[in-house]
Structure 1
Amino acid sequence: MSSTRSRILETARRLIIEQGPRVSMADVARAAGISRQALYLHFGSRASLLVTVVRDMDEQDGIRTRCEKALTGEEPLEAFRAFLRVWLRYAATIHPVASVLLASRRDDADAAAAWKDRMDELHRGFLAAARRLEAAGRLRPGLAADVAANLAWAMTSVSVWEQLTADRGMRAGDVEEHLIDAVTATLTGDPSPQPVRT
């Protein structure tokens, strides 16, 4: 990746956190010290820029590789718990940008495109994990893999993480453990194999 492109992405990420996703292409160009024309040469639209910002965050963190590695664990339930742990720790990392996109996605098509792009990929990971649990006979009776994936995805969303940490004052580590146990119990019907932390 060119130094100019990297600078644009870093600048856009900072401005999103500071000003919200309604940051304009002109704002980004000015802050990055380039012309609007040069910005449009790198990113043909504002939506393209926002999607690339969140994809770049994922690539820098290596979240896709780490999620895939977690899901290759030999025992399906433990692999699922490992996958949840990787995702929830990353949710804490991306929270500043993700919460801004989440809050604005209903009335900002570009923010919605960036949010949907990343959440669709995350959901595919949850679906792969749920199908593996289903194949191993670990889902509770009557729960289909696609419904299980939807439930797990929603229960561990950035908005839930934010409500528990920011609104309820829970520590991030406690949120992680409680959500992993709650999601596992919801999908399998089994009590948590881990001690509950207070």
Structure 2
Amino acid sequence: MANPKADLLRYLQIGRDVMLWKLDGLGEYDIRRPLTPTGTNLLGLVKHLAGVEMIYFGVVFARPVADPPAWLADESESNVDMWAKPEESREDIVGLYRRAWAHSDATIGALELDTPGHVPHWAPRRNPVTLHQILVHVVAETHRHAGHADLLREHLDGAAGHRPETGNLPEEEREWWADYRDRLEQAARQAAGR
């Protein structure tokens, strides 16, 4: 029998797990360093998603998280949720994300999919929302950032895929991947030269 809430929660958990394994085995510098011109970094993505869950499964349904981090309400600093300050440890951010999961899962478990909510930062025409809409939104946002994290991690040490043990890529040797990349580069240059 179909259970849309359980399906959505399963996909959300897959994305959550991906985000945390992307930190595994990396040092403090690599999980924090900005790897794009806009400063995207692995630990910042995890911090951002903790805030996303606290807002969308907390504030939106009038079920605020107990003792939210100060930065969640701090509008004085742009992108404060997209990077970890030196005093914010990996353990602090991961713990915050896990606490957000627990709160989100409690909200999801307690409410029906058609339960209405209100997203304060969305335009009035997009409100009210339902738990179902918010679940879809947060699953999409989590997986979008998991894709970002996948690219960042691959750039750092070559680890790619959505699971550390098998990933979702063909199982080929490093040399095969280097040859494959070279073929793609050659094809791109040929197409550009036409």
Task: Return the TM-score normalized by structure 2.
Answer: 0.25
Higher helix share: 1
Task: Return the TM-score normalized by structure 1.
Answer: 0.24
